[in-house]
Structure 1
Amino acid sequence: MPIPPPPGPQQPHGPYQSPQPQYPQGPHGSPAYPPGPGYQPWAQGYSPYNRPAPVNGLAVTSLVFGVLCCLPGVGLVFGLIALRQIRRRGERGSGLAVGGSVLSGIGLALWALMLATGGASSFWEGVKEGAREGANSSLVKGDCFDVPGGRLSGGDGVVTGVTCSGKHDGEVFASFRLRDGGYPGDDSVSGTADKRCYGLRDGYAMDAWAVPDDVDVYYFTPTEHSWSAGDREVTCVFGNAAEGADLTGSLRNDATVLDADQVAYLRAAHTLNAALESAPEADSVEDDLPGHKAWAGRISAALGEQARSLRGHEWPAGARKPVTVLAADLDRARTEWAKVAKAADADAFYRHYDTGLRLLDPKEGVPVRRALGLETTPPSGHGHARGGTGDGGSDGGGGMAV
């Protein structure tokens, strides 16, 4: 006669049903014949053994906080509470609670030591630096973003990407990597970023006339701390020159936005712009006459190259006549700047320079721009020539293209 299972909390209610009887064993331990329809197994989920005590949840939480060491004080408190609950409720997890309490206690001691020695401040700066590097490294050419407080200079560098169609604090127009090696110093990094970023802006905003006068160039650079972690990236961005003011709409106007005729015209103009911006560092012609004469020679050569580029392109019908007139004006300016380059002294330099500068009147390029659908209002700060040319100065005029 079968022996019934022991009574327990899981035993089925109602009339007792016998478990399967034992059958003769066949080969390999299998039953010699299947059970008949009159026998049924125990109900699913029945266990003849007592259920084990549950694990205390606070003990697990204490261990997690102890391992992560993020809030050691909380982990220690949870561990002590868990030990008391385990004793009172008969739950499991005392080992977890003890381990969490010990690890949390060690973490709490380390936090106290860091606060006493200033290590916590260094750690937090490192966290902020990491966030800064992660945010800036995600910026690519054409991205627009906001920064806390709208400050592109002197801020913490944390950025939030936004659409360029609305208001935003900055727009990325280029990026480049610095050479490997030891950290060159803040001044060297900033100097390189300044020179390279200003040189790269025309590749993104080819038509400088279309860039508002209140737009300036900013850049994100590696710090000494991020340099040690392998950061070499410089990110060049456009921003408003007025602190906290916004930009609206994208400033991008390159081959992805402009048509082939517009690009051809602006590329020819950039030949002259590059020469104008190569002025010597000395402000006075008297301080560096050879340097200023060499600069005038570069301008003369650029004017000739610009005229040849304009004549060599197949322009649409409406632009052919104004392009022909502009190329002739460039020839006259080239002749005068060649005389500047051969000046025997400062007086002769200034005499030919004044005439040559008048021949670089940006308004001469307006008819061509109008025919090509480009901006026709010269920016107030056209030219941006580095250095100067003595009393006459150089507003550069940006040639007759910008």
Structure 2
Amino acid sequence: MSIPPPFGPQPPQGPYQPPQPAQPHQQGAYGPPSYPQYPQYPQNPQNPYGTPGVPGVPGAPGYQPWGQGYSPYNRPAPVSGLAIASLVTGVLCCLPGVGLVLGLIALRRLRERGERGRGMAIGGSVLSGIGLVLGMVLVVTGSDTYIWNGFQEGARAGAGYAPARGECFDEPGGRLTGDTDGVDKVPCSGAHDGEVFATFDLKDGSYPGDDSLAAAADKRCYGLQYTYAMDSWAVPDDVDVYYLTPTGDSWSAGDREVTCVFGNTTEGKDLTGSLRNDASALDPDQVAYLKAAHVFNAAMDTAPDAEYVEDDLPGHKAWAGRVSAALAEQARMLRGHPWPADARAPVAALAAGLDDARAEWAKAAEADDADGFYRHYDAGMRLLDARRSVPPRKALGLETTPPAVDEGGNGDDGDGGGGDNRGDNGGDGSGSTGMQV
């Protein structure tokens, strides 16, 4: 028994045949209708397998490519600047309180802003806290003072001790001239090589050289001695002005200080006791008298460099004019102060003598020649006899022994009463060579 074939056209028997094009539907024919096949889309020559999701290329699936701005890696959160500052401050231990505060603030902001640096903030806070506790322990126990004193001693050992105003010292070699490696502080009540009466700083710039430095120190120190030893009569005759100045090497390291010193002019001889007699050691009446006397002393210090009048008559005449004006001012100051009862008469007599001397100095300032200058100059100096200053000084409790008179006796004693020439003609003295440290 045979099975009849199914309805409709049958494929031919035999080897495989390629599919035939569909035939249009025939009305009245048996079998299901057939439809035409649609053509295949062309493949992308750059990508024969098709590029999914690229617009304009048929057959692409329905997902989209990565959008603009996409980064395949996550960017790290920024590091907190406060955390860094806290760690640095804690490591340096310079401001432990600040480092602790910065660390705590950083920890709070890390959570709020999503920043990194938690480990640095914690480390800075811990180190700063330790430093703060140690600092408090040092203050409570007094160890901070001990450490600071040790630091100062170490600094002095390396840079040399610099004596201050009012301090006394010894120089290892016992000299106040030439170079020295340093000086040692000693009490002024005992024997010592020098006593500091002033210090000042020089202007910045290149090293001026030894000679220029010595000239500047010499001029300035001689003028400053009266701010410390107001009563020049109380300064021994064998005491003069010296100074300590920077060396070329110390200048390069920033040293600009000049130290003005009283020292003994006799080699190997020490000073004993302080020479200080300023407003801190004198009463108001003594200070008023010495201030008036200093007006004359300052004018005498402006004498011309030429030793003889014939070599510089205009310079000497100008100097005489300054001395005449100073004597007038000194007399005015003496008359204007309310002196104690026992000092009024001697002070008034001194002021009258200053008036007479002023007249002669004024005539010297107007002299036509050297002879005329000498004549009035000699008369004016005779009227400035130191013995006229003794009565008011005795009444005021000041030194009553006039300084020794040098050759020619054409100096000042700080009273307008003759005396030695300390500070005269620019103050040349044994201390003019100075000492470098």
**Does 2:275 match 1:251?**
yes
CA distance in 2, matches of 1:305, 1:261: 17
CA contact (8 A) 1:340 1:353 kept: yes
Q: Which letter does structure 1 place at the counterpart of 2:227?
A: G
2:411 counterpart residue number: 395
Measured in 1, the distance between the counterparts of 2:392 and 2:219 equals 31
How has the CA–CA distance of structure 1 residues 133 and 172 changed in structure 2, closer, same or farther, with 3 Å as cutoff? farther
Deviation at 1:136, TM superposition (A): 4.0
- DSSP 3-state at the match of 1:350: helix
Alignment partner for residue 135 of structure 1, among 143, 157, 160?
A: 160
- Out of 196, 205, 211, the residue aligned to residue 172 of structure 1 is 196
CA-to-aligned-CA distance 1:353-398 (integer Å, 9 cap, x gap): 110110111111100000000000111147x9xxxxxxx6723454
1:361 aligned to 2:380? no
State whether structure 2 residue 241 is matched by structure 1 residue 217.
yes
Alignment partner for residue 353 of structure 2, among 320, 326, 329? 329
Residue correspondence of structure 1 range 174-193 to structure 2 within 5 A: 174-193=198-217
Secondary structure, counterpart of 2:198 in structure 1? strand
In the alignment, what sits opposite 1:264?
Answer: 288
Deviation, 1:135, is 2.7
Aligned-residue identity in percent: 67
After superposition, residues 3-402 of structure 1 pair within 5 angstroms as 134-137=159-162, 139-381=163-405, 394-398=410-414, 399-400=416-417
Secondary structure of the equivalent of 1:266?
A: helix
Q: For structure 1, which segment, 248-257 or 342-351, has the greater mean C-alpha deviation from structure 2 after superposition?
A: 342-351
Q: Is the 8 A contact 2:381 2:418 kept in 1?
A: no
Q: Which has the larger radius of gyration?
A: 2
2:269 maps to a residue whose letter is A
Amino acid at match of 1:394: N
TM-score by length of 1: 0.63
Answer yes or no: is the 8 Å Cα contact 2:409–2:418 preserved in 1.
no
Query: Distance between the aligned counterparts of 1:157 and 1:351, measured in 2?
Result: 52
Contact in 1 for aligned 2:412/2:418 (Cα 8 Å):
no
CA distance in 2 between counterparts of 1:343 and 1:195 reads 29
* TM-score of the two chains, using structure 2 as the length reference: 0.58
Aligned to 2:102: none
Paired letter, 1:338: A
Give the Å deviation of 1:160. 1.1
Contiguous gaps of at least 5 residues in structure 1 = 1-129, 385-391
CA distance in 2, matches of 1:136, 1:299: 41
CA RMSD of aligned residues (A): 1.9
What SS is found at the alignment partner of 1:256? coil
The equivalent of 2:430 in structure 1 is: none
May I ask how many residue pairs the two structures share in their alignment? 264
User: What secondary structure does 1:354 align onto?
Assistant: helix
**Higher RCO (Cα < 8 Å, 6 or more apart):** 2
Give the direction of change, closer, same or farther, for the CA distance of 1:212–1:266 in structure 2 (3 Å limit): same
Task: Tell me the residue number matched to 1:15.
Answer: none
1:34-72 CA-to-partner distances (Å, cap 9, x unmatched) read xxxxxxxxxxxxxxxxxxxxxxxxxxxxxxxxxxxxxxx
The one-letter code matched in structure 2 to 1:345 is D
- State the Cα deviation string for residues 166-187 of structure 1 (Å, max 9, x = none): 1111110000000101111110
| Native 8 Å contact 2:384 2:418 kept in 1 | no
- Give, as a single letter, the amino acid of the residue that structure 2 aligns with 1:258: L
Amino acid at match of 1:191: A
- Summarize the Cα distance change of 1:273–1:255 in structure 2 as closer, same or farther, 3 Å threshold: same
Q: What 5-or-longer segments of structure 2 have no aligned partner? A: 1-154, 420-437
Quick one: structure 1 residues 218 and 172, their matched pair in 2 at CA, closer, same or farther if it must change by over 3 Å?
Answer: same
Q: CA 1:133–1:170 in 2, change beyond 3 Å: closer, same or farther?
A: farther
Label 1:132 to 1:212 Cα distance change in 2 as closer, same or farther (>3 A): farther
Q: CA deviation at 1:243?
A: 1.7
Q: State the SS of the aligned residue for 2:316.
A: helix
